[in-house]
Amino acid sequence: MEDSVMGTQSTASIEKSKRLGPGLLVAAAFIGPGTVLTASKAGASHGLDLLWCIAFASFGAIVLQLLAARLGILAGVGLGAYLRDWLRGTVWALPVLLLVIVAVGAGNAFYQAGNLFGAASGLSAIAGGTGPLWVSIIAGLTVALMLIGSYRVLQNVLISLVAFLSVTFLLTASLSPPSLSEIAAGLIPSLEAEKLGTIIALIGTTIVPYNLFLHSSSVAKNWADCDKQLGLRQARWDTIFAISLGGLVTASILMTASSAFFESEQELKKVQDIAAQLQPVLGNFSVYAFAAGLFAAGFTSSITAPLATSYAVCGVAGWDIREKSGAFRCIAVTVVLIATAFILGLGGAPEETIFIAQLANGLLMPLIAVLLLVAVLRLSSEHEGKKTARFHPLQLSVVAGVVLLICALNCWKLWQLRG
């Protein structure tokens, strides 16, 4: 009897410990320099007009990350490995491999440039020095951590700093919140040609292609020894809670930027100007707090992005996906080196690099989302008749609607660029 009670308590403890995890990792990954800068630019330039975009992007992220979680639990592997096993021996194997390498590998190298720039901007504000110097130092430290494999503890510390920055934005937004009528007006979708780049960048900084690979792999590990129905339920709440919180932080950043710049008709010229948004809470300390938070956000993402790239490419290529394997480390280090070479070779303003990285993410995301949707539909058909395989037609309609709308926005942007 006692053993039974202890066993029940142990099981309950294990189940409780698995309720949160991968979703928080995804939220921490997308609250990086790109989110801070893009949401600030949106608020400073357009006030609350693009609140609806953050709401849509957060909803879209929840929908797609739930698909990634579903695939990870039902298949027991990440998206990359599942695509490899599914397409092995078919004519689609090579095209999909190339697509993942280009969309996730090359795309993440560009995204990584924004991470390094963001972290370097934070350190420059605290300790002085030039951006290229700090970029080189941060890139070197990132590569060293990748090779040694001792980045987990450091990443947890940095995530704590990102959490502090997020809470500060939330508190600042709550001190002088906009009226309900202003929020309601901002939640009404409005599509204007001059705002399209910012809209796609906001989507790209929230629905990040590499997070689909990272999330599916993390979920597969986290609930590997768990009942699938229980795992699906816990992963659902984990994902909804974490990404909703991330969306709320993004909205708070936009609101504080609107108050600090748009309403006072001030211009947001550089990353460091964003510290002004935090002055109502932190006063003169806001400059240093923001710089530390920006460094943490950039450095955390500079570790997460190469890892996610390795999960994706190794999974699709059939290589060892263990973090200490040679192929895994080689790909992660290559992403860091390409990003560093891009920064040092081409130069450019941190703000421009970070913003363009988010825009590139928004353009690439639909390709990966379609692959994920088709993979989940196939996986559900393989488990037909089982309770865990239920995939309601309404769910399919919602996912398809999100992907089609983002595709339409991307096509419009590409048409603009063509002109």
Over the stretch 108-136, which tens digit does the pLDDT of each residue have? 777 788 788 878 877 777 777 667 888 88
Question: Between 61 and 271, where is the model more confident?
Answer: 61
DSSP 378-418: HHHHHTTTSGGG---HHHHHHHHHHHHHHHHHHHHHHHHHH
Q: At 406, which amino acid appears? A: I
The CA-atom distances, in angstroms, between 299 and each of 120, 285, 296, 313 are 9, 21, 5, 22
pLDDT in tens, 224-267: 887 888 888 888 888 998 899 888 888 888 888 888 788 777 77
In angstroms, the CA 77 to CA 213 distance is 10
In angstroms, the CA 68 to CA 62 distance is 10
**DSSP conformational letter for 188:** S
Give the pLDDT of residue 206: 85
In angstroms, the CA 376 to CA 319 distance is 22
Give the pLDDT of residue 124: 79
Is 80 a residue whose pLDDT tops 90?
Answer: no
Give the pLDDT of residue 360: 66
Using 50, 70 and 90 to split pLDDT, how confident is the model at 86?
confident
Residues 340-369 have a mean pLDDT of 68
| Angle CA 73–328–356, to nearest 5 | 85
Question: Between 390 and 79, where is the model more confident?
Answer: 79
Residues 280-301 have a mean pLDDT of 76
Give the pLDDT of residue 344: 78
Q: Which domains does the chain have, with CATH numbers?
A: 66-222+232-418 (1.20.1740.10)
The answer to whether residues 52 and 324 touch, using CB atoms and an 8 Å cutoff, is no
Is 99 a residue whose pLDDT tops 50?
Answer: yes
Share of the chain above pLDDT 70, in %: 82
**DSSP conformational letter for 128:** -
Q: Which two tokens stand for residue 214?
A: 């990272």
Phi and psi for 58 in degrees, rounded to 5?
-65, -45
Residues 322-345 have a mean pLDDT of 84
Question: Between 175 and 390, where is the model more confident?
Answer: 175
CB-based contacts of 206, cutoff 8 Å, min separation 6: 30, 35, 54, 57, 58, 60, 61, 246, 247, 250
Q: What is the CA radius of gyration of the chain?
A: 21
CB-based contacts of 259, cutoff 8 Å, min separation 6: 176, 178, 277
Residues 329-346 have a mean pLDDT of 84
Using 50, 70 and 90 to split pLDDT, how confident is the model at 223?
confident
pLDDT in tens, 172-189: 777 777 888 888 988 998
Closest Cα to residue 207, out of 378, 363, 379? Answer: 363
In angstroms, the CA 275 to CA 257 distance is 10
Question: Which residue intervals of 18-105 are DSSP H helices?
Answer: 22-30, 33-46, 51-75, 79-87, 93-100
Question: Between 348 and 197, where is the model more confident?
Answer: 197
Give the pLDDT of residue 7: 46
Give the pLDDT of residue 367: 79
In angstroms, the CA 313 to CA 106 distance is 11
* Residue written as token pair 């450019």: 348
Is 394 a residue whose pLDDT tops 80?
Answer: no
Closest Cα to residue 27, out of 235, 241, 292, 293? Answer: 241
pLDDT-wise least confident of 11-25, 170-184, 312-326: 11-25
Chain-wide mean pLDDT for the chain?
A: 78
Q: Which two tokens stand for residue 283?
A: 């006063």
Closest Cα to residue 45, out of 251, 265, 197? Answer: 265
Using 50, 70 and 90 to split pLDDT, how confident is the model at 52?
very high
Give the pLDDT of residue 391: 63
Is 13 a residue whose pLDDT tops 50?
Answer: no
